[in-house]
Amino acid sequence: MDDNHIVEIRELVKRYPVGGGHFTALRDVTTDVVVGEFTGLVGPSGSGKTTLLNIIGGLDAPSEGSVTVLDMPLGGKNHKELAHLRREGIGFIFQTFNLLPVYTVFENVEFPLLLMGMNGEDRRSAVNQALEWVDLMDKVKSRPAQLSGGECQRVAIARAIVKKPKLIIADEPTANLDAENSHNVMGLMVNLNRELSTSFMFATHDEKVMGYLTRIIHLIDGRIDEDEQVSKPKYREGK
Amino acid sequence: MLRFLIKGVFRDRSRSLFSIIVITLIVALTVLIRGFMAGIFDDVFRQSAVIFAGHVKVTTRAYAEESDLLPNDLAILGSDSLVAALSEEYPDMFWTPRILFAGLLDIPDEQGETKEQGPMMGFGLDLHSPGSRMVEIWELERKLTRGRLPERPAEVLLGETYAHRLGVEPGDVATFIGASMYGGFVTYNFHVAGTVSLGITGIDKNMLIADLRGVRMALDMQDAAGEIVGYSHDMFYDDEGSVALAVNFNEHVPNPENEFSLVMQALRDHTQMGAMVDISEYAIGLVLFIFMAVTVVVLWNMGLMNGLRRYGEFGMRLAMGETKGHVYRTTLGEAVVIGIAGSFIGTAVALPLVWYLQEIGLDYTGLFEGMTFVLSSIIRARITPDCYYLGFIPGVLATVAGTMLSGRGIYKREMSQLFKELELEA
Ligand SMILES: Nc1ncnc2c1ncn2[C@@H]1O[C@H](COP(=O)(O)OP(=O)(O)OP(=O)(O)O)[C@@H](O)[C@H]1O
Ligand SMILES: [Mg+2]
């Protein structure tokens, strides 16, 4: 695997059993993701964006082909090994935030570190740093129900970033946010991308999100239709 | 991590509170029913033991075979030395001779003519010898309704309803008419000292309680007794112990073929008491089983409902890199915590109630009017040692079992499926 590659996909096919036969959600997908890329999967509904992100995240298994993520070939790996990969190397951001309602902002962000078995001292400083990143230091003790949608998604970003993963996977992160919050959240992720060289992979329909991407992979019917490098993203200053 | 999750359990009211309430209820009911059943069966055994069977009873073989007829011609001779021997040999029990006898009771008027007459069932008990516990275990002082307890051998107590029917007052004379041990016709003048009400209709209506010495004189039974009964010192019936004792005794009886050789029977051997003893042992198991089943089903469903609500959380946790096994195990861990909490509360709620029922009892006089069953009119519960932990069986096991069943969904679903349910939530 190329040192520079964070994801390598070769001739990936994904079929879902449907009725007696099967439905092919992804076909012949071959691509690489380079460290530090800010990539988006775009395409019509049902084109396979979520399916591809799930496979990269080890949440779904390929039917054919090979997928290597963070130097780990996913073929033949068991649940535990895949969980380990996610725990150590991948952060997830969801469309619906998925914060744990009974825990405070601090505790929600702390959760991935508990899974990693990090000690209390290190946890505290990492959580505080992540919350500073997303500018939510004044809400540490709040519960998700007391936050706005934009704030919730910022907590989710803090939760994804707190363990400093190499790759963050975000499926429609702005779908439940208004324009202002969408820009706000995307701006945060751009900063993280720049300062920590964290690679991002999005799935999105959102024009605003596309305006930040440095690379856009167009999916149609489970196939890569176009793979476009964006030299001057509309909303992204500098670079 | 565990602390983190437990914190969540107790903050999530909808998850923990309802579960804990259900478990508390089930556990409290289990403990209550246990205490209650123990009390009722104790009562049944105690009454049966006191009035009829003893915890164990020694008679001649021939007497045992015809015991319904109260065949005092088949009584044990030399009973006093036998009581002494039994007390020596089996000190875990106390032993007492007694004579059950039947006949007629004749109430004379001032002229000595018959005023009233009625069939009588007599209990000749050792009321007066030093150390005798008969007055105590028959609770005669408490059950005395008129007059006083007998003080001399010829003084007797009559059942309250019996005395009423015969028109007898304390102080009156009542003449026994019946057969002696040798089959001869006898009459004997008893003096009525008082009346008692045992609260058992079938017995009170023709009961006479007399001192053993008086009965021996009346029936010409010097140093003889129809039966010798043994009781455990705490008056609780220990079925296994009693049966073992009887078996041991019977093995050592010389020439058991002889009809006058001795035989020992446990309470269980007395008419229907065997079935009763068995029921008392299985009943609590049955109750536990039913409660377990109910709890498992309730918590299973609750777990499913909670689970549906929590699939989002599970999906998120899997995405964060938790393994399915870990999610499942922590869910069970939460169930254990909730189960223990509910069991603690349930047991703590129930024990004082059982204690109250043990100390004060529940008076249901009149509720079972005319019941021939041997039961006193005050139900008492008993805090058995297992009351302290029994509730934890349905409380914890059922909670875990219910969670195990409902949590299978975590395994059955494809991970991507759990994960996709995240998107449906919103
Ligand atoms: N578990 C499954 N079983 C059968 N078919 C599935 C399954 N999951 C996804 N599909 C199908 O695979 C195709 C791709 O789905 P996917 O969720 O990847 O689309 P998407 O591009 O993310 O769409 P959207 O923009 O609506 O989120 C769809 O046609 C979907 O119906
Ligand atoms: Mg999708």
Distance of CA B158 to CAs A60, B139, B155, B198, Å? Answer: 87, 14, 10, 10
For the CA of A14, the closest atom of ligand 1 is: 12
Q: At residue A107, does pLDDT exceed 90?
A: yes
Q: What's the pLDDT score for residue B368? A: 53
pLDDT digits (tens, 9 = 90+) for B169-204: 888 888 888 888 787 888 888 898 899 888 777 788
For the CA of B416, the closest atom of ligand 1 is: 1
DSSP string, B70-125: --GGGPEESHHHHHHHHHHH-TTEEEEEEEEEEEEEEEE-TTS-EEEEEEEEEEEE
pTM: 0.73
Q: Is the CB of A51 under 6 A from ligand 1?
A: yes
Distance CA A32, CA A71 (A): 12
Q: Are residues A98 and B422, on separate chains, in Cβ contact within 8 Å?
A: yes
Q: What's the pLDDT score for residue A213? A: 96
Q: At residue B173, what is the residue type?
A: V
Q: Are residues B319 and A114, on separate chains, in Cβ contact within 8 Å?
A: no
Residues facing residue A93 across a β-bridge = A170
Spatial contact of A31 and A86, defined as CB atoms under 8 Å apart: no
Q: Is A101 exposed, middle or buried (0-12, 13-18, 19+ CB in 10 A)?
A: middle
Q: Which residues of chain B have pLDDT under 70?
A: 271, 307-308, 363-378, 413-426
CA angle A16, A17, A23 (to 5 degrees): 55
What is the value of ipTM here, to two decimals?
0.90
Buried b (16+ CB within 10 A) or exposed e, B56-77: bbbbbbbbbeebeebbbbbbbe
| Average pLDDT over every residue of A138-142 | 95
Q: Are residues A94 and B423, on separate chains, in Cβ contact within 8 Å?
A: yes
CA angle B421, B422, B423 (to 5 degrees): 90
CA of B422 to the centre of ligand 1 (A): 14
Alpha-carbon dihedral sign for residues A204, A207, A212, A218:
positive
pLDDT digits (tens, 9 = 90+) for A5-58: 999 999 999 999 888 899 999 999 999 999 999 999 999 999 999 999 999 999
| Average pLDDT over every residue of A212-236 | 94
- The chain-wide mean pLDDT, for chain A, equals 93
Rounded to the nearest 10°, the torsion over CA A137, A143, A146, A148 is: 60
Q: Which of B12, B321, B324 sits opposite A115 (nearest CB)?
A: B321
- Give residues 95 to 114 of A whose Cβ lies within 8 Å of B: 95-96, 98, 100-103, 107, 110-112, 114
- Name the token pair of A186: 């995307």
Q: Is the CB of A22 under 6 A from ligand 1?
A: no
Q: What's the pLDDT score for residue B251? A: 86
Residues facing residue B124 across a β-bridge = B99, B210
- Name the token pair of B147: 């007059």
